[in-house]
Chain A
Amino acid sequence: MWAYIIRRLLWMIPTFIGILVINFAVVRLRGPTLAEELHRGGSGEEAGLRQAESHLTNVRNHLARFHLAGNHLPAVINLRGFTSKDGVLRHLQRLERGPQALLNDGQRSREELDLWLKGPLYVEPLIAILADDSLERFHGPASQALRLCAFDPPLPTDLQLLTEAERQAKRQRNQAFDRLAIAYRNDPEFGFITEDPEREAKRAALLELYEANRDLYQRSTGRIVRAMVLETGFVDLMTKLFTGRLWSHSKGRSVFALIGERWQVTFTLNILAIIIAWTVSIPLGIRSARRAGSLGDAITTNSLFFLWSVPSFFLGSLFLHHLCTDSSTGIRLFPNIGLSSPDAHWLSPPRLLLDYLWHGFLPLLLLTYGSFTALSRYMRAQLLDQMHADYIRTARAKGCDEDRIIYRHALRNSMVTMVTLGQGLLSALYGGFLFTEIIFSINGLGTLLYEAALDGDAPLLMGSTLISVGLFLISILVADIMYAVVDPRIRSRYV
């Protein structure tokens, strides 16, 4: 048994990482691009309105913000070290306007931003282009790309991690690359035209600068291989995760602090909802099974299915409008905001309990009414199954009374299925409930994750995935162990 548990626990590690990698890749597919970052803050999503922006001159500032979020790195595997000088040259050629231009303005803009994000591994091929006299036309855009690829953003953590001299050197390097960018124009007729009178001097200075900092930018096999796995968004995120520096960018706070804050509400509501759902459904199922085929059973079944088919957001809106609103025609019977009154902590415990009940009644009703149907129908079917079994007939023949037959014999044997149903409970405790939260303005996990998904907030989504995946894996394990506890036949197979 113990060997079985340990084996299962060990298997969880690769499963866990696999799920996280896939999740991360999917989240990043919808992640923000540098173009979006450039327009951040200038957009008003509401009503589709925008604010005209001043020139987007300071790309480096945006780039620095992008670095903070780890969005400048490729998602799962980094192959940037393998791009040769020719590869970079082809990239530059695609940026060129002119009669033979390959791309339209928009695509070109995106390609350009993409090149600027490539980081220090692209410095070497860009320098090779600058060193090549025959590629003079591309020196302008190459130096511009170099300026941004070599840019090492100043971070607040530098104050702890770097010495004064190192910080100074970093700043000077950034400034030098900045200063030495060769001015150019991308002409619709002639393509790239270098316009800088000092271009030769700047070029020489750039080559010199590279020589002086060769150890920072030079590619070696070791560096390339290391970068492949380690310089990726996933590793960046995991590092932040395990060092406790996972920040939600849309909320400006630590991910786990946010989740911890929201989970309390979700946890409390979920646990109450589960208790209510089970304590109502199981007796209902038993009752139905005992009176299977009767008019009462038919009424129960039909009304449960009717309830099940009413969407909760619809019922929620009805509640909000008719039970929670002061209007010219009526007064509100239930509160419309949150799970307690603003001054609830001044109330005495019994009144506080009443206050919670008053606030929680409608949200809990919305959360539970749908699950009565499924659970009670399962219970009913299971029990009916058992009632037709031979041992029940024997018990009846022996003269057992009906209550004893059901509660002592049939119910126990129906429980194996209920364990299967119960295995989702642990992870369900973590799940949010979006509509109920929105309608009753409850700040739970549902709205948090919904907003995170809308904002493309990868750290927050990943932090939450981590917890829900963890809970899910554990609950499966617990359920498997429960089977063994309930049924000796299963136990004998766990070796």
Chain B
Amino acid sequence: MRYLTIALTCAALILLLLVYLSLHKGPERDREIRDALDQVQQSLEQLDRRLAQPPPVASSHGSDEILAAVDSLRRDLTDNIVAAQAQIQAQQQEQPTPADPKPDSTVNDPLRDGLPRLGSNFLLPHAEPQFDAARIGGTFRTFGNTPPGLNPIIENAADVSNLHGMTNDSLCVRDGVEPMRWRGRLATSCIIEDDYTRYTFTIRPGVYWQVPRLALQDERFAWLRERVPLTAHDFVFTIAMIQHEDVQCPALKSYYEDLEEAVALDDHTLQLTWSRTLYTSLGASMGLEPLPRHVYTRDQDGQPLAEDDIPLQFNDHWFDQRRQIIGVGQYQLWDFVPDQHIILRRHADCWTNSGHFAMIDMNCRVREPEAQLTAFKNSQVHTHSLRPIQYKANILDGHERRFNREQPREGALAWERVDTLAYSYIGWNMRRPLFTDRRVRQALAHAFPKQRIIDEVFFGLGQPAVTNVHPSSDYFHDGLEDLAYDRNRAMALLHAAGWEDSTGDGILDRDIGGERISFSFVIKGYANSPEWDRTLAIYQEELRALGIVMRAETLEWRDLVKVYEDRDFDAVTGGWRMSYEVDFEQLWHSRFATEPRSSNHVGFADTEADELAERLRETFAMEERIAIARRFQEIIHREQPYLFFRTAESIFTWQNAGEHRLHGVVEALDALHPFYNRNSSWWYLER
């Protein structure tokens, strides 16, 4: 009897569980059905819209052809909507459409070499040589992070700018092959005047804002279904928001504080006037991305907001609260579930073709490095980057044989060493008596077995850093020789600086200000990096052999930031991310050595360096800039304010076999500049 009761109870429980499960999955399934319907509906709308438009130049593009294409589109609708749409669009874009009266016809204009110059349009014409309509399709899977908010102006986080990089476009971009040249995107021309203070851009006609998905899902937002063209007013609005005192975007504001005026001369002409000649204004002007004015100036019902309320509303706008973004770029935000995924969908109504994937699925759940590597091995993502220790275990030690150690690009999981735009260093606090003497800093650099550490700790990933500029950059001074590991040379320099072991205790000492001081100091470092731990342990031994006592102290990131701010260190480890351009003022100008809360935390001060840093900010001619930067690096190399350790490299891996194979990676790696060679617009999936 008792067993019967137990059995019955178990059966009832399982039944209840099943009922619960089937109830539970209802809403999810509804959502997916709704998604699919949305997709079909939107495609139909776009189709209708395109049919309603006058056919593009009839002579070369017969209506039969269009009809045939539409027919094929209808056939493919349920199966492969996005790819088919893009094909049609690609066909149309090959013809100059009536909406685009000024195509980039000056392709062979010698003045349009992309190098900034005064008085004429210098932009390289927009081009997408890598694009092939036949390659469109598939879902590209990758890892992502959930940003705290989506507004690109309010949220100053890398995740947000990455997302906007895919959904939006900028006026111009750096050329992928020669980054010193600029290529037009949303701007068809850029004319710089008045000693590089006035920029006049012609905005590309025929560019339309994406229709947010919200507008298709909810009748309340039907007013957003209208197709709105991009105009110069959108850029003016963006600048107004950045500069307005009520808008809380401190990080961006400082880049535009010298911008005197932004005006739309007409719908397609934007003029930016800067108050002084400043090289940083070039990047800030050319890289400007527009915001949809028609959304941010209205309330949820589409009614215009009062002019004065707009900036205040902008900090917490309903559009951001509903986790929406729209841009004019190739991809459109389709679904965003925080900490789950961000899904982007190829936007067929885009002015250009710069991506092959029909969908991009960014997985925000897997965050732990080992779990990420597992997901990559299980083909759940297409690309990944390995940490040094993972590189050692999986590739060098051969634990994962799908990586081909000798022929990196041949394995089922292909890999390649790539540059990471960063260098790491040990900074000496030059305010402290131990490190004021240049010879001591040079000696400390000679005592650091750079190559050995890179080989042993980083398994060869990275190059010894010589100066504060990346070796792949055009600004790099290749004539400087690294201060090689040489214990005798280090000792000689220390003796020359007055450090001797006078007490016979094996530790160097010296009179400083009438007091006998022994050479001992603390290096504060980042706690969550096993690589730094091992590096400092090796360095500690090396210094001990010279008679210097060094102790390493590791701190959590937040505490380390306080150490930088308070300049509360003898020596500190650190790393700087870099961009293609160089600007030495933030880190090296003596003005910032004494200013609180600045980035010159080591207290470097050199009159010539100051002058060079200032000149670099005012110089636009590339050769001259390179000459200044080289001279600057000579000073830095001589003074050794940092022990320049390593410019980072990492292992980039991608799926190279089977149904998940990613194509085009090798082509991009070979064709593009090392800083830009992982450009996903070159990639496409196995179809």
Contact = CB atoms under 8 A, between A and B. Distances in A.
B18 A48 contact: no
Contacts of A58: 250, 253-254
Given A154-B312, A338-B365, A352-B21, A43 B596 contact: no
B567 to A, nearest CB: 5
Nearest to B309: A159
Interface stretch (A86-94, A325-333, A472-480): A325-333
Given A106-B565, A108-B596, 9 more contacts: A42-B156, A47-B422, A47-B526, A49-B577, A56-B598, A106-B568, A328-B402, A349-B22, A353-B18
Given A106-B565, A253-B338, A349-B18, A317 B370 contact: yes
Interface string B231-268: 00000000000000110111101110100000000000
Interface string B590-617: 0000101111000000000000000000
A326 B379 contact: yes
Interface string B354-379: 00000000010111101100110111
5 contacts: A30-B558, A40-B156, A109-B596, A347-B25, A349-B22
Interface size class of A (residues with CB under 8 A): 35 or more
A324 B400 CA distance: 14
B586 interface: yes
B401 interface: yes
A467 B278 CA distance: 54
Contact of A107 (B248, B375, B566, B573): B566
A276 B432 CA distance: 62
Nearest to A109: B596
B377 A443 contact: no
Contacts of A350: 18
B506 interface: no
A57 B257 contact: yes
B365 A441 contact: yes
Contact of B597 (A56, A156, A251): A56
Interface string A408-440: 000000000000000000000000000000111
Nearest to B421: A49
Interface in B322-368: 338-340, 363, 365-368
A161 to B, nearest CB: 12
Given A249-B148, A337-B380, A48 B529 contact: yes
A51 interface: yes
Contacts of B21: 349, 352-353, 356
Contact of B565 (A54, A57, A109, A347): A109
B681 interface: no
Nearest to B422: A49
A346 interface: yes
B371 A438 contact: yes
A352 B374 contact: no
A344 B368 contact: no
Contacts of B18: 349-350, 353
Given A35-B565, A61-B248, A49 B557 contact: no
Interface in A63-89: 64-65
A328 B532 contact: no
A44 B375 contact: no
B562 interface: yes
A188 B371 CA distance: 53
Contacts of A51: 576-577
B313 interface: yes
Contacts of B155: 41, 252
B339 A345 contact: no
Given A250-B148, A328-B402, A336-B375, A156 B313 contact: yes
Question: Which 4 A-B residue pairings sit nearest by Cβ, starting from the closest?
Answer: A106-B566, A109-B596, A48-B526, A328-B401
B492 interface: no
Nearest to B14: A353
B567 A104 contact: yes
Interface in B618-663: 648
A112 interface: yes
Contacts of B375: 336-337, 441
Given A109-B597, A320-B370, A325-B377, A47 B529 contact: yes
Contact of A36 (B156, B528, B558, B573): B558
Contact of A336 (B22, B378, B583, B648): B378
B575 interface: yes
B365 A337 contact: yes
B562 A326 contact: no
Contacts of A108: 596
A64 B576 contact: no
Given A337-B365, A438-B368, A443-B339, A52 B576 contact: yes
A171 B247 CA distance: 13
B666 to A, nearest CB: 22
B599 A53 contact: yes
A321 B378 CA distance: 11
Contacts of A54: 251, 254-255, 280, 586
B28 interface: yes
A57 B148 contact: no
A39 interface: yes
Interface in A21-55: 30, 32-33, 35-36, 38-45, 47-55
